[in-house]
Structure formats: C-alpha cells, structure tokens
Amino acid sequence: MKSKIIKTKDFILRPLYLSDAESVAKHAHNRIISRNMARFPYPYKKRDAEVWLRRVVNYQRRKKQANIVFGIEIDGGIVGAINMHRIVPGHKAEIGYWIGKEYWGRGLMSKVIKEVVSYGFRELKLKRITAKVFPFNKASMRVLEKNHFKFEGILKKEEKKGNKYLDTHVYAKVRK
Ligand SMILES: CC(C)(COP(=O)(O)OP(=O)(O)OC[C@H]1O[C@@H](n2cnc3c(N)ncnc32)[C@H](O)[C@@H]1OP(=O)(O)O)[C@@H](O)C(=O)NCCC(=O)NCCS
C-alpha cells in the first residue's frame, strides 16, 4: 500500500519513487547504518537504491496493507526511511528505520517514529507495534524509549548476518 503524506515542520513522510535513488544512495552509504540493520548493503550504491526502490514501488501499487514504507524527506531529498512490515490490520505490525548520518542526534527519528506510530494506531487500528534492535544499538533503543516503547526481552540468535548470529532486543508499544 502507498504511504500517506505526513508533513511536519521538520520533515515530510511520503511514498517513494525510482527518482529518489540518488538521494537514497547518498544518505544510505554508511557502515554503521549497515551494521545496525538486519539487511542493508555497505557500500551502498545507486544500484542498491534502485533495487530497493523498485521493490517499494511494487508494494505501493498493491492494495494489500502488508508493508508500508515512508520516505523521510528533508531539504528536498529522501534522507532516510521507516517501514511498517508484517502488518496485520486491526492487530499488529513491526517497524524498521534509518536516517543519514548528517541528520543524527537532532531528535528527528524520535519525531518520525511518533508520527508513524500514531498513524498505525489511528488509521490501521493496531493494538501492538514491535521494533527489534541489535544489543549494541543504544541510540535506537533510546528513540524507542522516548516514544514509550517497552523492552520485552531478548531473542537469542534471532538474526543471521554473514556468518554471525545476533541477538535482538524486542521493544513494543501496545494499545488497550
Ligand atoms: C538510530 C537512529 C535511527 C537514531 O536517529 P536520530 O534521529 O539520531 O535519533 P534522535 O536524535 O531522535 O535520538 C537519538 C537518541 O539516542 C541517544 N544516543 C545516541 N547515541 C547513543 C549512545 N551511543 N548511547 C546511548 N544513547 C545514545 C541520543 O542522545 C538521543 O537521545 P536524547 O534525545 O535523550 O539525547 C539513527 O542513528 C540511525 O539511523 N542509525 C543507523 C540505523 C539504525 O540504527 N536503525 C535502527 C535499527 S533498529
């Protein structure tokens, strides 16, 4: 499904297009982003952005609400993204997110998550939103805590990256 357009004073959350490839590649090319995400190439080339954007454009064409990706637009270009995946409308979804290094530490992702979470609860009528974080990613844990996600526990060796098995910390926010 296509994401809604959400405009705030700091950023615009919007659907993605193939024409975003250059800006995505510029901001996604970072070793730490790649290390913190389950599947994210490094080096990140324009070709990687095109492959990803083609997939996203395909999701956006479908009516089914299984996966929604919001591009984060700042200064006229896409500098990051947040997705809701494994969506079960009326019940639950997972979020994953990244933003380019030059934008870190300005409170941006905390605000992005706030918008997307309220969209999920309000429009998709979710009861539960989950995020999974690698144990070394303290900044990501912090943005979740700032959004009142609760730490629920550790999934041992949940992700395989290369030849390593990594634990993930599960955070969730639930609605009554
Ligand atoms: C994690 C990430 C999304 C945070 O985005 P951001 O816009 O910089 O986040 P914010 O500025 O809203 O908040 C970051 C918070 O983490 C804190 N923080 C940063 N580095 C930290 C560290 N090493 N230890 C503890 N806290 C840290 C900041 O101080 C800030 O908290 P504060 O507002 O209480 O001071 C961003 O760094 C990123 O894209 N990283 C790479 C990809 C990634 O990790 N994605 C998440 C995968 S689960």
CA of 98 to the centre of ligand 1 (A): 10
Token pair for 34: 């790649």
Task: Tell me which residue has its CA closest to atom 39 in ligand 1.
Answer: 98
| pLDDT tens profile 75-89 | 999 999 999 999 999
The domains located in the chain, with CATH, are: 6-126 (3.40.630.30)
Residue type, 3: S
Q: Indicate if ligand 1 lies below 6 Å from the C-beta of 130.
A: no
| pLDDT tens profile 124-153 | 999 999 999 999 999 999 999 999 999 999
DSSP 100-140: -GGGTTSSHHHHHHHHHHHHHHHTS--SEEEEEE-TT-HHH
Query: Do residues 75 and 108 touch, judged by C-beta distance below 8 A?
Result: no
CA of 152 to the centre of ligand 1 (A): 19
What pLDDT, on the 0 to 100 scale, is given for residue 29? 98
Q: Indicate if ligand 1 lies below 6 Å from the C-beta of 117.
A: no
Distance from C-alpha of 13 to C-alpha of 8, rounded to nearest angstrom: 8
What pLDDT, on the 0 to 100 scale, is given for residue 64? 81
- Which phi and psi (to 5°) does residue 129 adopt? -125, 125
- pTM of the entire structure? 0.97
Query: Do residues 141 and 133 touch, judged by C-beta distance below 8 A?
Result: yes
Residue among 97, 41, 37 nearest 72 (CA):
97
Residue 146 CA: nearest ligand 1 atom is: 34
Query: Do residues 129 and 120 touch, judged by C-beta distance below 8 A?
Result: yes
Residue 140 CA: nearest ligand 1 atom is: 1
Task: Tell me which residue has its CA closest to atom 45 in ligand 1.
Answer: 98
Digitized pLDDT (tens) for each residue of the chain, 176 residues in all: 888 999 999 999 999 999 999 999 999 999 999 999 999 999 999 999 999 999 999 989 988 878 999 999 999 999 999 999 999 999 999 999 999 999 999 999 999 999 999 999 999 999 999 999 999 999 999 999 999 999 999 999 999 999 999 999 999 999 97
